[in-house]
């Protein structure tokens, strides 16, 4: 696809905001979040990416994958995003966060919250799964895996829907940037 002109822009952050990327494992959340983060940093905007694997290693290594532990993990991340957002940073949270109630609680806590639903059919996610987690879950080696034997509750009214089966990561990232502009968090202009 030809360059949509996004590189010839600069951004002005009007207020801190949390971008909450949610979706099935391997749906493309982290890829889109990283592209957004790169663009923000190129524009000189304060942005911090919080990724599931990194947070699980450093902040939530004491937690398992029961519903209670997953909710506790999402609450911890929500608190960090709340602090970042309050101090004028773009917090990019890329987490499966399978339960609607936990995501909604973070929306209430943070306030400036943009929910990005990264939608892809489970079959597509399985094809992309470089870690082989779906295969292990289907073989019974992993229990409680979201999308296989644990539910994923899709957002009812997300602010942005990225359909990664039919969009490139760059198209999805552009969609997120446009939503931030429309919602009044970001202003972009040509150089």
Residue 147 DSSP one-character state: T
State both tokens at 23.
Answer: 């979706």
Active site annotation includes 26 = no
Phi, psi for 79 (deg, rounded to 5): -65, -45
C-alpha atoms less than 13 angstroms from C-alpha of 30 in its C-beta half-sphere: 13
Can you tell me the distance from the alpha carbon of 171 to that of 19, in angstroms, rounded to the nearest whole number?
Answer: 16
- From 97, 119, 166, 172, active-site residue: 97
Who contacts 118 (Cβ-Cβ below 8 Å, separation ≥6)? Answer: 21, 22, 23, 27, 28, 29, 32, 162, 164, 172
Residues identified as active-site = 97
């Amino acid at each position: 696809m030809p360059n949509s002109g996004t590189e010839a822009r600069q951004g002005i952050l009007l207020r801190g905001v949390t971008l909450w990327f949610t979706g099935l494992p391997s749906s493309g959340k982290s890829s889109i979040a990283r592209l957004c983060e790169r663009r923000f940093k190129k524009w000189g905007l304060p942005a911090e990416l919080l990724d599931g694997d990194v947070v699980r290693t450093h902040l939530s290594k004491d937690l398992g994958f029961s519903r209670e532990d997953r909710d506790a993990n999402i609450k911890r991340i929500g608190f960090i995003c709340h602090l970042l957002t309050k101090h004028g940073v773009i917090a990019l949270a890329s987490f499966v966060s399978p339960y609607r109630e936990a995501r909604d609680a973070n929306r209430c806590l943070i306030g400036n919250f943009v929910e990005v639903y990264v939608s892809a059919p489970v079959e597509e996610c399985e094809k992309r799964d470089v870690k082989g987690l779906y295969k292990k879950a289907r073989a019974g080696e992993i229990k409680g895996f979201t999308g296989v034997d644990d539910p994923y509750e899709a957002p009812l009214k997300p602010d942005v829907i990225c359909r990664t089966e039919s969009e490139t990561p760059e198209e999805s990232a552009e969609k997120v940037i446009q939503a931030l502009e429309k919602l009044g968090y970001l202003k972009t202009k040509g150089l």
